[in-house]
A and B are shown apart, each in its own frame.
Chain A
């Protein structure tokens, strides 16, 4: 059974801090790993990673994948209160149609 584990489950930091969110996975036939941000509604897409060692960057957010060690990290620098959300890691795997297996998410709270 495919498994995606995120840590920490919850994190509270002050505005301006840098945070690192972790995602490890055990899946058969890995295809891609995706990061999403979920506030009150459905998840919004952040990154998709398919290759090891290539950093994806968007503003203050960045992510990298290690396919040998089976994990990914999501970094957020100079955090703002608007970054408060649940960050979800998901993996597409197998020979199927890419239905995603999600981790439980990291609940990030940025305090002013």
Chain B
């Protein structure tokens, strides 16, 4: 259980174009998904929190008009990189939150399962 998929796995695009990345929870519903970015040899950095039915919450320094997030259903969140530039080239990873509800005293604690990631190269 708790499988998360991403599409595409790898995309190369020209500078100035927009790219859409999909994140799907395959066997569960996810009211909350997260988008992370990972540059080479660095750790994952949280970009934004995607909430089904409401606006995404962006981390400091992440431009909401450049990275458009839409969480249209309980199983799908999309990240659109608008007017992509070479510095946007990175590994984009989504995760979905799963309630960890079986342990006493841990209400409000969640596990996160990651998608396989999308490698974006902007030329």
Binding site for B on A (CB under 8 A): 31-32, 34, 36, 41-45, 48, 50-51, 88, 90, 92, 96-105
Contact = CB atoms under 8 A, between A and B. Distances in A.
Contacts of B111: 34, 45, 48
Contacts of B105: 50-51
B29 to A, nearest CB: 15
Given A50-B106, A101-B46, A102-B43, 18 more contacts: A34-B111, A41-B116, A41-B117, A42-B114, A43-B44, A45-B112, A45-B114, A48-B100, A48-B109, A50-B103, A50-B109, A97-B34, A97-B57, A98-B97, A98-B110, A99-B46, A102-B45, A104-B43
Contact of A104 (B42, B57, B115): B42
A100 B112 contact: yes
Candidate in A36, A42, A104, A105 with the most chain B CB atoms within 10 angstroms? A42
Interface in B18-49: 32, 34, 36, 42-46, 49
A100 B106 contact: no
Interface residues of B, number: 30
Nearest to B2: A45
Interface of B: 6, 32, 34, 36, 42-46, 49, 51, 57, 59, 93, 95, 97, 100, 103, 105-106, 108-117
Given A45-B112, A102-B43, A105-B43, A97 B93 contact: no
A105 B116 CA distance: 18
B57 A45 contact: no
A49 B115 CA distance: 21
Contacts of B109: 31-32, 48, 50, 92, 98
Contacts of B46: 99-101
A45 B88 CA distance: 26
A90 B44 CA distance: 9
B116 A42 contact: yes
A100 B59 CA distance: 11
A99 B59 contact: yes
